[in-house]
């Protein structure tokens, strides 16, 4: 669950620690049999956008604008009063170096942004946060002009604003609120499920903060900024300038609020214990290990050993150097088992000394940095550590339930990500729409988090995913598989 927000993501310079991510499975024939991430999505145009390349102008360059797509935020319909953000995505093969996009409205330049990497996927795009203030506009169609510089070609797109009176509940009254508890500074939006369940959530946060302190053996030195999001983003949690947890009745990413809070609080406390370079595999491994599981409390070692039976084990060097783009559930589980193995073998203090004494290697690879520290602290090459780790895993008692549960856990999250890529792309972890939430609070913006796709297909699939999660947590593997097959059928239509 961790990611380098906008190291990758929007050029913000903060570390984001996700709760989960990636894709595949063998439970259905249509899935890839290889544990690799599905490539970042073909992005769907917003339903409110009318692509109007008919008005394309090509003054200075023969480069066609056809193939550019524009996504709007908030998701879904736009309403008078929205502060609209835009993502401009170039067509495949378009050379974006040293190019930018300028957005014009009614003869005025709203802003210009260069193409640059966005999200974990580092997708090239021009991103405009809250660039178009529609507060003074009338309902109806409005035209924005997009100009690619220095090429000079342009095109227009028409957006329809619905009347402000039609904005969906809990808007327009919804607003940011906060409260202070012993552990946390808690942020939420009024009128949401988190607001309704606030007392329960505060109690949960207090309990998890105490457990994290006990696991770590050190106290939090400051209150943790903890924000409850009324929308699924990624897999339901991340940490960056605070801890962010999705909380909504229709949380199709799994009912793991307590686990996610714990995981992200571990990241928060871990980051404050120092360390020059903390490799992602150990950051996430530690969070899962100290949380007693990834999305639920689970027997980490036998489940990791089950990966060997399934031929899903990822070699450590490969996993270390591509942690967030490796199959997500497998990577996190292996990482947790590795941390468990290191702590069991060398003890917490020696592990912690090693973990806090890892430094960037000359080749820039996390595996090289890890190996230098392994040699310094334990006299081990990475391959030697891996050989011992595999012997340790093969000695675990693995039963059919372990294999079935991890197989279907992988299948569940692969299916979920496929759903996000096709029908809820703003939530897909590799290119999720994660604006600066502190800035949203300052500006009083809530719509980017409140609005999400609610078409019948969204409701149908999300309902099936929620049911599959319940079945999986109950150990009803036949029902889980059946429900996931239903989702896949819908996704393939
Ligand atoms: Zn994490």
> What's the CA-to-centroid distance between 400 and ligand 1, angstroms?
28
- Residue 273 CA, ligand 1 centroid: distance in Å: 16
Cα 84 to middle of ligand 1, angstroms = 30
Q: Is 109 exposed, middle or buried (0-12, 13-18, 19+ CB in 10 A)?
A: exposed
Q: Report how far ligand 1's centroid is from the alpha carbon of 195 (Å).
A: 25
CA of 19 to the centre of ligand 1 (A): 4
Cβ count within 10 A of residue 270: 24
Domain that holds residue 68: 49-166
Q: How far does residue 16's CA lie from ligand 1's centre (Å)?
A: 8
How many domains does the chain contain in total? 1
**Ligand 1 centroid – CA 1 distance (Å):** 2
Q: How far is the CA of 181 from the centre of ligand 1 (A)?
A: 24
C-alpha angle 270-449-127 in degrees, rounded to nearest 5:
85
Query: How confident is the model at residue 254, as a pLDDT?
Result: 85
pLDDT digits (tens, 9 = 90+) for 460-471: 999 999 999 999
Residue 176: beta bridge partners?
A: 189
**29 in a structural domain:** no
Residue 423 and residue 452 in contact, taking contact as beta carbons nearer than 8 Å: no
Distance 17 CA to ligand 1 centre (A): 4
Whether residue 127 lies inside any domain: the answer is yes
Measure 437 CA to ligand 1 centroid, in angstroms.
19
Please indicate, yes or no, if residue 122 is contained in any of the structural domains.
yes
CA of residue 20 to ligand 1 center, whole Å: 7
Q: What is the reported pLDDT for 414?
A: 96
CATH number of the domain within which 143 lies? 2.60.40.10
Q: How far is the CA of 57 from the centre of ligand 1 (A)?
A: 46
Strands 184-189 and 78-79: unpaired
**In which element (H, E) is residue 199 found?**
helix 198-216
- Asked if residue 74 belongs to a domain, the reply is yes
156 CA to centre of ligand 1 in angstroms: 41
Residue 61 CA to ligand 1 center (angstroms) comes to: 45
Beta strands 224-229 and 184-189: pairing type? parallel
Angle of helix 280-291 versus helix 328-346 axis, rounded to 10: 80
What is the distance in A from the centroid of ligand 1 to the CA of 7? 16
Residue 224: the pLDDT is 96
**Cα 21 to ligand 1 centre (Å):** 9
Predicted pLDDT at 65 = 57
* The pLDDT value given to residue 239: 85
Instruction: Give CA separation, 437 vs 59, 152, 187, 271, in Å.
Output: 39, 34, 10, 20
Helices (H), 226-379: 257-271, 280-291, 300-309, 316-321, 328-346, 348-355, 366-378
Tell me, what's the pLDDT at 19? 45
CA of 264 to the centre of ligand 1 (A): 6
- Residues 6+ away with beta carbon under 8 Å from 369: 277, 279, 358, 359, 360, 361
490 C-alpha vs ligand 1 centroid, how far in Å? 30
What is the structure's pLDDT at 45?
31
pLDDT in tens, 273-285: 999 999 999 999 9
100 in a structural domain: yes
Query: Ligand 1 centroid to 283 CA: how many Å?
Result: 7
- Taking the alpha carbons at both ends of the chain, their separation in whole angstroms is 31
Query: How close is the Cα of 44 to the center of ligand 1, in Å?
Result: 28
- For residue 33, is it within any domain? no
Residue 129 phi/psi, 5-degree rounding, is: -85, 125
Tell me the CA–centroid distance for residue 26 and ligand 1, in Å: 25
Say how many Å lie between the CA of residue 237 and the centre of ligand 1: 8
Ligand 1 centroid from CA 132, angstroms: 34
Distance 83 CA to ligand 1 centre (A): 31
Instruction: Give the start-end residues of each E strand in 67-153.
Output: 69-73, 78-79, 83-89, 100-105, 108-114, 116-118, 123-133, 140-149
How far apart are the CA of 332 and the centre of ligand 1, in A?
8
Q: Which residues pair with 340 in a beta bridge?
A: none
What residues of the chain score a pLDDT lower than 70?
Answer: 1-65
Any idea which residue has 């961790």 for tokens?
A: 2
Task: Tell me how far CA of residue 56 lies from CA of 45, 62, 154, 310, 409, in angstroms.
Answer: 18, 11, 6, 52, 47
Q: What are the CA-CA distances from residue 394 to residues 100, 329, 387, 438 (Å)? A: 53, 19, 11, 46
Residue 101 in domain: yes
Q: In angstroms, what is the span from residue 281 Cα to ligand 1's centroid?
A: 10
- Report CA(285)–ligand 1 centroid distance (Å): 8
Residue 326 in any domain: the answer is: no
Distance of CA 485 to the CA centre of its chain: 24
Give the Å distance between the CA of 276 and the centre of ligand 1: 18
pTM of structure: 0.85
What separation in Å is there between the alpha carbon of 263 and the centre of ligand 1? Answer: 6
The span from the CA of 198 to the CA of 189, in Å, is 11
Cα(18) to centroid of ligand 1, in Å?
Answer: 4
Q: 230: alpha, beta or left, given left = phi > 0 and alpha = psi -120 to 50?
A: alpha
Question: Per-residue DSSP letters for 392-451?
Answer: HHHTS---HHHHHHHHHHHHHHHHHHHHHHHH-GGG-GGG-----HHHHHHHT--HHHH-
Q: How far is ligand 1, taken at its centre, from the CA of residue 241, in Å?
A: 14
Burial of 95 (0-12, 13-18, 19+ CB in 10 A): exposed
């Amino acid at each position: 669950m961790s990611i380098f927000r906008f190291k990758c993501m929007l050029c913000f310079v903060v570390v984001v620690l996700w709760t989960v991510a990636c894709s595949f499975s063998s439970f259905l024939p249509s899935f890839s049999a290889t544990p690799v991430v599905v490539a970042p999505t073909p992005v769907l145009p917003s339903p409110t956008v009318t692509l109007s390349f008919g008005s394309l102008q090509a003054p200075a360059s023969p480069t066609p604008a056809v193939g550019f797509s524009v996504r709007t935020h908030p998701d879904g319909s736009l309403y008078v009063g929205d502060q609209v953000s835009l993502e401009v995505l170039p067509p495949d093969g378009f050379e974006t170096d040293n190019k930018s996009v300028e957005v014009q409205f009614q003869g005025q330049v709203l802003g210009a942004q260069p193409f640059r990497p966005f999200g974990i996927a580092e997708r090239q795009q021009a991103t405009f946060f809250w660039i178009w203030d529609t507060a003074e506009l009338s309902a109806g169609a409005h035209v924005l002009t997009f100009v690619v510089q220095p090429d000079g070609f342009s095109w227009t797109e028409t957006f329809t604003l619905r009347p402000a009176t039609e904005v969906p509940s809990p808007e327009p009254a919804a607003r940011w609120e906060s409260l202070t508890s012993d552990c946390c500074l808690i942020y939420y939006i009024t009128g949401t499920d988190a607001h309704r369940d606030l007392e329960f959530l505060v109690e949960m946060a207090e309990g998890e903060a105490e457990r994290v302190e006990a696991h770590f053996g050190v106290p939090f030195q400051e209150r943790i900024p903890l924000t409850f999001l009324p929308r699924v983003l990624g897999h339901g949690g991340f940490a960056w300038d605070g801890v962010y947890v999705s909380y909504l009745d229709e949380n199709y990413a799994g009912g793991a609020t307590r686990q996610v809070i714990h995981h992200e609080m571990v990241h928060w406390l871990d980051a404050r214990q120092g360390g020059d370079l903390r490799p992602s595999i150990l950051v996430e491994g530690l969070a899962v290990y100290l949380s007693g599981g990834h999305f639920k409390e689970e027997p980490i070692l036998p489940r990791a050993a089950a990966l060997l039976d399934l031929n899903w084990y990822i070699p450590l060097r490969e996993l270390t150097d591509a942690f967030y783009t490796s199959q997500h559930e497998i990577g996190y589980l292996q990482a947790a088992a590795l941390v468990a193995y290191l702590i069991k073998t060398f003890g917490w203090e020696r592990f912690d000394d090693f973990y806090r004494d890892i430094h960037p290697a000359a080749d820039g690879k996390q595996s090289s940095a890890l190996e230098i520290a392994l040699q310094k602290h334990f006299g081990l090459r990475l391959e030697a550590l891996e050989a011992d780790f595999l012997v340790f895993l093969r000695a675990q008692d693995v039963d059919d339930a372990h294999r079935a549960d991890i197989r279907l856990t992988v299948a569940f999250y692969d299916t979920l990500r496929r759903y996000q890529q096709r029908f809820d792309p703003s939530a897909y972890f590799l290119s999720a729409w994660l604006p600066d939430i502190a800035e949203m609070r300052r500006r009083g913006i809530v719509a980017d988090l409140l609005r999400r796709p609610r078409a019948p297909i969204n409701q149908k699939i999300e309902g099936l995913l929620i049911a599959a999660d319940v079945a999986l947590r109950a150990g009803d593997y036949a029902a889980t598989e059946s429900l996931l097959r239903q989702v896949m059928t819908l996704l393939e239509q």
